[in-house]
A and B are shown apart, each in its own frame.
Chain A
Amino acid sequence: MEKETLISLRGVSKAFDGETILDNISLDIHDKEFVTLLGPSGCGKTTTLRIIGGFETADSGEVFFDGKEISQVPPYRRLVNTVFQKYALFPHLNVYENVAFGLRLKKTPEEEIKQKVQEMLAMVNLKGFERRRVTTLSGGQQQRVAIARALINHPRVLLLDEPLGALDLKLRKDMQTELKKIQRATGITFIYVTHDQEEALSMSDVVVVMSGGHIQQIGSPVDIYNEPVNAFVADFIGESNIVDGFMLADRKVRFSGHTFECLDEGFAKNEPVDVVIRPEDVDIVPADKGMLNGVVSSVTFKGDYYEIIVDVQGFKWMLETSDYAAPDTTIGLFIEPEAIHVMKKSEFSGQFGDYSSFSDELEHLSDPEEEEEE
């Protein structure tokens, strides 16, 4: 199924005060897709969104919308609407007037406005809230008003800038489902910015992983998770053990002193590679039956699974399993060929995927002062 390209960025760069935020980005966004720009803060995802919305102008490069260059088109003439990070609902207007705002500008007849506002409020489950002041609404309700206010204008594209960031976990999950439903129902292209990989994986048709002003990988959630292109993506999307290895031949990779069967092909003989094994893909077996042996250094009960850190020849692996293993015992690790993903070496190699500093990392997180000293 060939999808129509709706938005196209070509060689877009942007710097603020001499600091490069976007470095020569090219990206195609197809019609009716749910696209997520995912990355850590400062990766350029929000800037990309703001360039599409018209709130920033790229220093160089081109932005096409439906085949037309739109770099110089002001936001109010673009067929794009935005749900802002902190909603930006107009505090001087009630819920009804906030939602009706776009239609009022288009001089829509009052009867039609009324009907459409009702429709929109029904869609976001806010029937009966018309006369409420937006300042009296909860975060989740404001969020819904912001979505209704944007969607009532029937944009071709809806931009969402970390719209769920301010909500608590439970509400966030509900809104994720609801947003996906709304996107399917309306057939509007969604471009969604988040730093939450779980959110990105569960909602998107396409995930664009960004870091340092570059696009690292574009793909479906399954592709991104199962076939990350480099250590950054593997580490950012979910938990990963990333070990150094080399390809002995097609479908044969050696790491941690053992030769494994795998599914990857097309590497040079003895090419050094990064090998990714997801924590949930490792099985625990008795020590004498393991492909690798290690000593359990810690076990954390996580509810539906145990998170086990195992020391394998000095490299700490993370395992997520329903089997309990006592600390300081020696266990065997069994890894299926499908569980092994081989990546080319990249600038990110060696930076991620070792859990030796795992507990330290958490301590750092809870102690902001120490972080500053670094």
Chain B
Amino acid sequence: MKDLSLRRKEPPPATRKGQAQRNIFQKLAAVPHTVWTVMFIAAPMLFVLYFAFTDAEGNFSFANITNLGQYTNVFILSIAFALIATAVCLVIGYPLAYFMSRQSLRAQKVLMVLIMLPMWCNLLIRTYALMALLDNGGLLNSLLGKLGLEPLPIVGSYFGVILGMVYDFLPYMVLPIFTAMTKLDYRYIEASHDLGCNNLQTMTKVVMPLTLSGVVSGVTMVFVPSISTFYISQKLGAGKIDLVGDTIERLFQNVSTYNVGAAMSLVMMILILISLTIMNKFSDEEGGMVP
């Protein structure tokens, strides 16, 4: 997901040896990944499924699912936060990507690095950095204090958590949209001017529809981590804000609630799957960038 530079790996150089031998090598090359997928992706999913539908004694049961009703508010809050964060990222990211795509190639490269730079830094560290800026004793509030103003209680507020999501996931919105923008043939823009569109109309009638695939990718790549995050809400919510991710984490830490945690994870996965399906409906046939 992070390999947005689209730098393809060169295929192995063609040897003069037999085709069959190459096929074996190609199959062998896939083995580590297959093992990895089975062990760390497929198997855990099956475990989740198993635990979600069994009780502590290992008997089949729907109780875990039906018990999730008490967490309705947590689900609603998580979805709302993810939606807001995604919308904010889109509103900031789309114009930014458009602006970037209109620059010279040189400037584009510089801007690209600036956008990518935070992504090279670990998410936890970035979130800590944001905390250091916004906390009560942080840079912002000590500055406000020196000016004789009240400190802003950002950490621990809804605003703080959403800010953290936007801050952490904005690059995932900008990059796919930027890629779609650079692929947009300038002739379409000229054609729309030719047919009578002013700049605004060109934007809404041509540029936006033709970069929709980038928007779909960006929205997905921001929405999915936002809805499942637990770290951002823990740190920037100062432990006061409970999202689905936090709840799942807590449920798994206690042996007695292990099965409820699995059920919640399952519902979460289904939610994400549904939203991916909906997003894919918006993307046209060329926009196959949704992970």
Q: CB within 8 Å of B: which residues of A?
A: 53-55, 74-76, 80-82, 84-86, 88-92, 101-102, 105-106, 149-150, 153
Output the least CB separation between B206 and chain A (Å). 6
CB atoms of A88 and B188 under 8 A apart: yes
| B272 within 8 A of partner (CB) | no
Task: Tell me whether A106 and B191 are in contact in the complex, defined as CB-CB below 8 angstroms, given that A90-B206, A92-B209, A92-B210 are known contacts.
Answer: no
Chain B 186-209 per-residue mask, 1 if CB under 8 angstroms from chain A, else 0 = 011011111111100100011001
B249 part of interface (Cβ distance < 8 Å) = no
Please state if B209 and A82 are interface contacts (CB–CB under 8 Å). Answer: no
**Residues in B whose Cβ lies below 8 Å from that of A102:** 195-196
- Report how far A54 CA is from B195 CA in the complex, Å: 12
When A90-B206, A92-B210, A105-B201 are in contact, do A84 and B195 touch as well, CB less than 8 Å? no
A75 touches B206 (CB 8 A): no
Whether the pair A91, B194 counts as a contact (CB closer than 8 A) is no
Q: Which residues of A contact B206 (CB under 8 A)?
A: 90
**Which residue of A74, A85, A91 is within 8 Å of B193 (Cβ)?**
A74
Give the nearest-CB partner of A133 in chain B. Answer: B285
- Contact indicator A82/B196 (Cβ below 8 Å): no
> Which A residue sits closest to B187, measured CB to CB?
A88
With a cutoff of 8 Å between Cβ atoms, the chain A residues found around residue B195 in the complex are: 76, 81, 101-102, 105, 149-150, 153
Q: Are B194 and A90 in contact (CB under 8 A)?
A: no
Shortest B222–chain A CB gap in Å is: 23
- Residues of chain A within 8 A of B187, CB atoms compared: 84-86, 88
Contact among B185, B193, B210, B284 for A76, CB-based, below 8 A: B193
Shortest CB-to-CB span from A120 to chain B, Å, is: 13
Number of cross-chain contacts by CB at 8 Å: 62
Q: Report how many residues on chain B are interfacial, defined by Cβ distance under 8 Å.
A: 20
Complex interface: chain A residues within 8 A of B193 (CB): 54-55, 74-76
Contacts A88-B185, A105-B201 given; indicate if A76 touches B191 (C-beta within 8 A): no
Q: In the complex the two chains form, is B194's CB within 8 Å of A106's CB?
A: no
Bound-state CA distance A53–B191 (Å) is 11
B residues within 8 A CB of A55?
190, 193-194
Say whether A76 contacts B188, CB under 8 Å: no
* 6 examples of A-B residue contacts, CB within 8 angstroms: A81-B195, A82-B191, A86-B187, A90-B192, A90-B210, A105-B205
Q: Are A88 and B191 in contact (CB under 8 A)?
A: yes
Which B residues are in CB contact (< 8 Å) with A92? 209-210, 212, 284
Instruction: A75-B193, A81-B194, A91-B286 are known; give 13 further A-B pairs, CB within 8 A.
Output: A54-B193, A55-B190, A74-B193, A75-B190, A82-B191, A82-B194, A88-B188, A89-B191, A101-B195, A149-B195, A150-B194, A153-B195, A153-B196
Candidate in B195, B197, B205 with the most chain A CB atoms within 10 angstroms? B195
Q: Which residue of B lies closest to A93 (CB)?
A: B209
Whether B196 lies near A53 (C-beta < 8 A) is: no
Q: Residue B197 contacts which of A53, A89, A105 (CB distance < 8 angstroms)?
A: A105
Q: In this complex, what residue of A is CB-closest to B185?
A: A88
CA distance A74 to B212 in the complex (A): 27
B196: min CB distance to chain A, Å = 4
Please indicate the chain B residues that have their CB under 8 angstroms from the CB of A53 in the complex.
194
Closest to A102 in B: B195
Cβ distance B199 to chain A, nearest Cβ, rounded Å: 9
Most buried by A among B194, B196, B286: B194
A373 CB → nearest B CB, Å: 29
CB distance from B213 to the nearest CB of A (A): 10
- The contact string, 1 if C-beta is below 8 Å from chain A, for chain B 72-96, is 0000000000000000000000000
List residues of chain A with CB within 8 A of the CB of B192. Answer: 90, 101
Q: How far is the CB of A104 from chain B (nearest CB, A)?
A: 8
Q: How far is the CB of B159 from chain A (nearest CB, A)?
A: 37
Instruction: Give Cα A81 to B197, complex, Å.
Output: 12
Closest chain B residue to A84, Cβ basis: B187
In the complex, what's the smallest C-beta–C-beta distance from B200 to chain A, in angstroms?
11
* A84→B190 contact, CB < 8 A: yes
A-B pairs, top 3 by smallest CB distance, nearest first, are A88-B187, A88-B191, A75-B193
Chain B nearest CB: distance from A60 CB in Å?
23
Alpha-carbon gap, A109 to B24, bound state (A): 65
Contact assessment for B190 and A88 in the assembled complex, using a CB-CB cutoff below 8 Å: yes
